Chains A and B, each alone.
Chain A
Amino acid sequence: DAEITQSPRHKITETGRQVTLACHQTWNHNNMFWYRQDLGHGLRLIHYSYGVQDTNKGEVSDGYSVSRSNTEDLPLTLESAASSQTSVYFCASSESSGGTPGDTQYFGPGTRLTVL
């Protein structure tokens, strides 16, 4: 069955370190998204991609980067981790190439990141 996976599921790191969170989907979806979820906030969009070599900034992109070298993967990198980046991170994917309102987003299981 097609799925979307994230790794690691839990990560503890120190301030200033570079961290990469992996997201892999086997749906063959064009669109992939990274969100963070914090108490008191809804899910907030960090970065998104509509296809290979395409990346775009979301509303909370500062301190994060992504790259899309193939359809299946969208790794999220924290260049220099900060305590404010302690959060739960969700990856999601959807099928359409933008502009189609009806497509469901499928979410990964989440990665809990703690920055000490």
Chain B
Amino acid sequence: KNEVEQSPQNLTAQEGEFITINCSYSVGISALHWLQQHPGGGIVSLFMLSSGKKKHGRLIATINIQEKHSSLHITASHPRDSAVYICAVKRGTDKLIFGTGTRLQVFP
């Protein structure tokens, strides 16, 4: 069993829909990251969380440390949000353990 599990693996949506991507982990962590990988392959960091909730534009990330669970929400989704979203957890040092990603496609 992977230490970091994401669901769903694939997700399609119509433009404007509210999107939720989930991440569960089985180890103690010091932080959790959400990353976005564009169709061209580039990876960018969206959020780093150690507690609570963060918001950036239409993106919201939450984490529940007790339940070992995080969610990434996208409000008013747009085709340009189409990407692979990756959850990664940090255990103490700077090393990250990655989930396998959620592929999101948003259609006009």
Contacts and interface: CB of A to CB of B under 8 A. Distances in A.
Nearest to B46: A104
B45 A40 contact: no
Interface string A14-45: 00000000000000000101000000111111
B25 to A, nearest CB: 12
Contacts, number: 64
Interface string A44-61: 110010100000001000
Interface string B38-49: 000111110010
Interface stretch (B10-18, B58-66, B69-77, B85-93): B85-93
B41 A105 contact: no
A113 to B, nearest CB: 13
Interface residues of B, number: 26
B24 to A, nearest CB: 14
A94 interface: yes
A102 B48 contact: yes
Contacts of A58: 95
A92 B100 CA distance: 18
B67 interface: no
Contacts of A77: none
B41 A109 contact: yes
Interface in B26-48: 30-31, 33, 35, 41-45, 48
Interface of B: 2, 4, 30-31, 33, 35, 41-45, 48, 50, 86, 88, 90, 92-101
Interface of A: 31, 33, 40-45, 48, 50, 58, 88, 90, 92, 94, 96, 98-107, 109-110
Given A43-B86, A43-B98, 16 more contacts: A44-B98, A45-B95, A94-B94, A98-B93, A99-B94, A100-B94, A101-B90, A102-B31, A104-B33, A106-B45, A107-B42, A107-B43, A107-B44, A107-B45, A109-B42, A110-B42
